[in-house]
Amino acid sequence: MRVSSNQYHLNTIRNIQQATAEYSKLSTQLGTNQRIQKPSDDPLGTVMLLTLNSELTKLEQFKANMNAVHFNLGQQETQLSSIINTLYSVQEIVTTAADGSMGQAELEAFSQELSVLFPAIVDLLNATDGNGNYYFSGSLTGVKPFERDALGVYQYQGDDRVRQIAVSDNSSVPGNIVGSALDPGVNFLNQMQDYLDLISTAPVAGVGDESRAMLAHISSFLATVNGEVTRIGGTLASLDEMAMGNDDIALFTETLRDDIKNVDYPTAFVQMNQAMASYESSLKVYSSVSRLTLFSYV
Amino acid sequence: MSMLLNGVSGLNAANSALNVVGQNVANAAVKGYSRQTVYLETAAGGLNGVKVVKVDRIVNEFLNDDIWRTGSDLNYYQGFHSYLGYLEEILGTESLNLNDAVAGINAAFNAAMSAPDSNAYRQQVLSSSQALVQDLSQINGALSDQQDKLSKELSNLADNSTALLQQVAELNSKISKAQALGQATAELADAREVLISELAGFIGVDILDPGDGTLTVSSKNGAPLVVGSKASEVHVSGTNVHVSFNGLDFPLNEFIGGRIGGLLNVDATVLQPARLQLEQIVTNIADSVNTALSEGFDLNGQPGEPLFQYNPADVLGTIRVNDSLQPDDLAFIGRVDDGFGGWIPAGGRGDNGNIANLVSSLQGGTAGYDTLIGDLAIQSKQVQSSIKTAQLLNQNAVAARDNVSGVNLDEEAANLMYYQQLYDANARVISTADQLFKTLINIF
């Protein structure tokens, strides 16, 4: 076979270029730790990456949602715990007042103490978050949930809409406690107010019967509030469990993604050495063969 | 006397051959140069020495056809890939990933679930929607740039093709004249082959040799490009290419091969469909978010206004976030039947009933995007491997031609020595004849 001299040069140059291109591709891979530089390097891998990334974004979003629920419910739990603590003090006083032997002076002192404690409870029920939104008024966050009307009767002004917050593809958890669940019919506040009104007059006959009745109301309110606190605790516990599950899935997905996305260093390194070796030998062969020409002997 | 004349004819022949060697060595690196050889013949009559018949190039026309065909294929795929590859990289760029942009809006909706009346979260929905729109306008810009670039390149290629056709036609007429006059045509024919190789890179060509020294060139779809000394002109308007020959118009479609064929095809089968698919995806997302918003109520108790606005005639170019939409106007509040066939808000400012609806309106919205990227990637990979194949075939075709027509310097060196010897030998014949003559003269 004849081989033209020009063709031999062109072939050698092409070999050198190919080796350089391969070398440069591999060194970019090693430098960036990205196996896929453009989608066509691995079409299937690219589409899988897109899907896996969406999956991870979604998991992150659910995690953020869980954190938000955690924070909000935590805040509400704090308010409710304070209500419970205050109620214990109220309960103590009313229990003492239930002793019919209390004189007028004692009743006045109780009245004084209760007139500080009760508004504190009302304030806690009307608590707001950092933006001035009421915690316990359902979806009417701009409306103070518990207020006395013109007749002096406490009314619940909020609604019973609970915000559902998605924490996974198929499940959501309540993000707020509504006032109508804490004090159904606003019975407790009005009973307490009536009791307060009564004790402030310090009746000579004492407040034994009324106090015993009030104690029953207090413990039923306590039970309701405790119930809500327990529900919050339950929600938070289940969130923690789901978060752990999500973390496991996220970790697995990330590993899968990195397997597709990242460079397999040993393989790439060996390949790069091979490319370098073939590059080097192209150069050597060219430089020694190109020295050979019959013209040297003419 | 004939011995002296024979020697002279041999000297002449050796001289011509040495000249040809010189020409070959000088042109060894010229692209498309065909090595030449001297054709010697015993002169007619008894012992009349040698005669130089002609100096001509060594070629095989079929090998040239292979080069043109494979060169045309190679340029077709390269042209195709230069636009496909760009599109694939643009859409595959992480920062322009539509999935991420939509996930951003989704995150903003989700974040608003726990505090739907918070201005900050509502603002976040607007900003993340703005980010999506910005991504889309960047993609639109890149796509439009590519289509502009493509039509500019097409008209460039058309101008170049027209010039090439003109030159081929001129060479046709020169060669046929030279051939008629018995003059050398080797350089002219080499030049014409180089021009046709270049032309085949632009448009796939069919070549016919009518035998009068000219070549008839036509496109793969049968449009006449050069006939004798007449050339046609290639015209482009937008992505519409046609040739006019003698006042007659012939269209060039995407099946004509060459770079022009590659560009026409990538426009018809990749750029335009990709734009349509993107518009479809964007329309779906915008419409389903807008519909979901219309199913809720805003903080002012009004039914939801659309978040995205666009002109259906140019979705990518016109999509934007509704300017008149304030954070309070986002309809996060759910709705209930008012008992009279109408809808009323389901709750107050803190109601998030419609957000779940909005979140699910985004679900699956970008599925088509994954498919689009996957399709582009697979197509690009196929075209890249077609380029490799075409490159190999083209290299083989060029190698096959060079094996026959290329200059081998060692061979020329051998020829140089051989014809030098031939020259020496003939010179010796002449000097011997001279000696014989002198011997004869000296007798007297």
- Residues A163 and A169: their CA atoms lie apart, in Å, by 17
Backbone angles phi, psi at A165, to 5 degrees: -120, 125
Contact residues, chain A, for B327 at CB < 8 Å: none
Taking only the tens place, the pLDDT of each residue in B217-276 is: 999 888 999 999 999 999 998 778 899 999 899 988 878 899 999 999 999 999 999 999
Distant-in-sequence, close-in-space partners of A75: CB < 8 Å, separation ≥ 6: A129, A135
- pLDDT at A177 exceeding the cut of 90: yes
- Residues B351 and B332: their CA atoms lie apart, in Å, by 7
Taking only the tens place, the pLDDT of each residue in B371-415 is: 899 999 999 999 999 999 999 999 999 999 999 999 999 999 999
- pLDDT at A47 exceeding the cut of 80: yes
The single-letter code of the amino acid at B439 is T
Establish whether this prediction's ipTM goes over 0.90.
no
Distances, alpha carbon A143 to alpha carbons A59, A164, A175, in Å: 34, 20, 18
Taking only the tens place, the pLDDT of each residue in B409-438 is: 999 999 999 999 999 999 999 999 999 999
- Least CB-CB distance to A39: which of B92, B110, B116? B92
Contact residues, chain A, for B107 at CB < 8 Å: 57, 60-61, 64
Interchain proximity B374–A61, CB inside 8 Å:
no
Instruction: State the smallest CA–CA distance between residue A280 and chain B in angstroms.
Output: 23
Instruction: State the smallest CA–CA distance between residue B44 and chain A in angstroms.
Output: 34
Q: How confident is the model at residue B100 (pLDDT cuts 50, 70, 90)?
A: confident
Cβ(B365)–Cβ(B288) below 8 Å: yes
The average pLDDT across B81-86 equals 94
Taking only the tens place, the pLDDT of each residue in A181-214 is: 999 999 999 999 999 999 988 888 878 888 999 9
* Residue A132 φ/ψ region, left for φ over 0, alpha for ψ in the -120 to 50 degree band, beta for the rest: left
Global pTM value: 0.83
Residue-level pLDDT at A88: 95
- pLDDT at B61 exceeding the cut of 90: no
Distant-in-sequence, close-in-space partners of A57: CB < 8 Å, separation ≥ 6: B99, B100, B103, B106, B107
Q: Please work out, in degrees rounded to the nearest 5, the angle formed at the alpha carbon of residue A17 by the alpha carbons of A30 and B88.
A: 60
What torsion, rounded to 10 degrees, do the Cα atoms B378, B379, B385, B388 define?
-150
Interchain proximity A137–B366, CB inside 8 Å:
no
**By percentage, how much of chain B surpasses pLDDT 90?**
77
Q: Which residues pair with A148 in a beta bridge?
A: A154
- Residues A217 and A178: their CA atoms lie apart, in Å, by 20
In this structure, is the dihedral angle defined by the CA atoms of residues B15, B17, B23 and B29, taken in order, positive or negative?
A: negative
Give B306's DSSP letter. P
One-character DSSP codes across A198-209: HHHT--TT-SHH
Residue-level pLDDT at B273: 94
- pLDDT at B1 exceeding the cut of 60: no
- pLDDT at B21 exceeding the cut of 60: yes
Q: Is B42 helix (H, G, I), strand (E, B) or coil?
A: strand
Q: How confident is the model at residue A100 (pLDDT cuts 50, 70, 90)?
A: confident
- Chain A residues 172-191 within an 8 A CB cutoff of chain B: 172, 175-176
Query: B70: which 2 tokens?
Result: 């494979």
One-character DSSP codes across A102-167: --HHHHHHHHHHHHHHHHHHHHHHT-B-TTS-BTTSTT-TTS-SEEE-TTS-EEE-S--PPPEEE-
- Least CB-CB distance to B349: which of A6, A53, A141? A141
Q: How confident is the model at residue A131 (pLDDT cuts 50, 70, 90)?
A: confident
- Least CB-CB distance to B346: which of A40, A71, A161? A161
- Nearest CA to A157 out of A125, A132, A188 is that of A125
Q: Please work out, in degrees rounded to the nearest 5, the angle formed at the alpha carbon of residue A9 by the alpha carbons of A4 and A10.
A: 95
- Least CB-CB distance to A175: which of B92, B114, B381? B114
**By percentage, how much of chain B surpasses pLDDT 70?**
100
- pLDDT at A83 exceeding the cut of 70: yes
Query: A291: which 2 tokens?
Result: 């020295």
Interchain proximity B28–A6, CB inside 8 Å:
yes
A74 interfaces chain B, CB cutoff of 8 Å: no
* Residue B121 φ/ψ region, left for φ over 0, alpha for ψ in the -120 to 50 degree band, beta for the rest: alpha
- pLDDT at A298 exceeding the cut of 80: no
